[in-house]
A and B are shown apart, each in its own frame.
Chain A
Amino acid sequence: MAKIIGGVGTSHVPSIGAALDKGISDNPDWKPFFDGYIPGKEWMAEKKPDIAVVIFNDHGNTFFLDRVPTFAVGVADHYDPVDEGYGRRSIPSFEGATDLSWHFVDKLVENHFDPLVCREIEVDHGLQVPMELFFGRPENWPVKVLPIWVNTIQYPIPTPQRCWEMGKVLREAIESFPGDERVVIMGTGGLSHQLQGSRAGFINREADEDWLNNIANNYEKFRNMSREDYVEQFGSEGAELIMWLVMRAAMDDKVDLKMKHYHAPASMTGAGMVVLENL
């Protein structure tokens, strides 16, 4: 069976990638943010995973409103970065973990999930930025990826409870996969931010800190919150945090919170990360 070597929760704010592209990650606005990720990068380098499962949402870059999958899974052999309006970024293409992807799709459907299965598709900053934050800017990515898209753009978005259930299936799929691959699970998005409406610019530092402090071993309240609760506490786009639940559910009930980091604002977002290991 493949092995889960850890779970990561992280923001995927696009301006993080833009800051790296412009070479301004060392300026006073950005340095504290990026410095906080150095231990995360070191952890990842030491753990040497073979596969990264990345749970993220598309931001109107790959999926248009003509078809909106609630959950989608990539089974492609590679994923190119998509042009988000500024030209395609010059980062390497992502190699797909196709065998594990198909196995995960089998397990999902056996467990009564009905994902969209994507054979040819590009990926936006939702996957790119977490990879850059934890693997830097290598010539080639040191891991294959298994992308999972969650619709957080057009309502109805899935419930937090459904995301949790998907995480349980993800764990089952990894643990029943015939192979010895080392797998890291990255739940991405958030933290608090709101980009639309007169509450635009809303950041809730207190709620963000509470999330980072408690997602490891006091997660029940987050698991039980409604979508409305997420929007109210974390902002309309901060509801992306439901995607961390997929990662959290795939880990043990009790975990070791190896590290956490918070910085606000990154662009218009409360940004940060946790790294979790099973005991």
Chain B
Amino acid sequence: MSDAQIPETPLFDRKGSIDGYRINKMAMALGDPANREAFKADEEAFLDRYKLTPEQKDAVMSRDWNRMVAMGGNLFFILKIAAVDPTPITAIGAAQAGLDHADFLKQRLGKE
């Protein structure tokens, strides 16, 4: 594809795949119940196992979804972090849109 940008729309391309590889690999591992238990028991140790940088660790541990995506976290992988919490997908959407959850539901999805 060309580098033409679609407004407010990051595509998961070469840069995202390279930058986000460790975050995504860690999140992918949460598809395994044993890894979910390890993550819940000691989240930081689990992130260290996947060699996340301090910035990546901070984004994950503070559940800063916007930053995770900006660092190359792909939504489909980081949804497995959300599954552990659990965090609704609409809350992740709201965080990226810069809206609070109720406003996001109303303005973007037309829900009262």
Q: Within the complex, which residue of A84, A154, A198, A227 is in contact with B80, where a contact is CB–CB below 8 Å?
A: A84
Q: Cα distance A77–B69 when bound, in Å? A: 37
Within 8 Å CB of A86, what residues of B?
A: 83
Given A65-B21, A228-B2, also A200-B33 (CB < 8 A): no
User: Main SS of chain B's interface residues?
Assistant: helix
Number of interface residues of A (CB under 8 A): 37
Given A154-B12, A203-B109, A268-B109, also A195-B31 (CB < 8 A): no
Q: Does B49 contact A (CB under 8 A)?
A: no
User: Main SS of chain A's interface residues?
Assistant: loop
Q: Cα distance A219–B86 when bound, in Å? A: 40
Within 8 Å CB of A15, what residues of B?
A: 89
Q: Cα distance A128–B56 when bound, in Å? A: 33
Q: Does B13 contact A (CB under 8 A)?
A: yes
Q: Does B47 contact A (CB under 8 A)?
A: no
Q: Does A231 contact B (CB under 8 A)?
A: yes
Query: Could you mark each residue 67-97 of chain B with 1 if its beta carbon is under 8 Å from any beta carbon of chain A, else 0?
Result: 0010000111101101110000110111011
Q: Within the complex, which residue of B6, B31, B104 is in contact with A61, where a contact is CB–CB below 8 Å?
A: B31
Q: Does A60 contact B (CB under 8 A)?
A: yes
Given A65-B17, A156-B1, A196-B12, also A85-B76 (CB < 8 A): no
Q: Does B54 contact A (CB under 8 A)?
A: no
Q: Within the complex, which residue of A64, A198, A200, A232 is in contact with B25, where a contact is CB–CB below 8 Å?
A: A64
Q: Which among A82, A198, A200, A237 has the highest number of chain B CB atoms within 10 Å? A: A200
Within 8 Å CB of A235, what residues of B?
A: 9
For the complex with contacts A196-B75, A201-B97, A236-B9, 9 further pairs of A-B residues with Cβ separation under 8 Å are A60-B76, A65-B74, A85-B36, A85-B82, A156-B1, A197-B10, A198-B96, A200-B94, A201-B104
Residues of chain A having any CB pair with chain B under 8 Å: 15, 59-61, 64-65, 82-87, 153-156, 194-203, 227-228, 231-232, 235-237, 264-265, 267-268
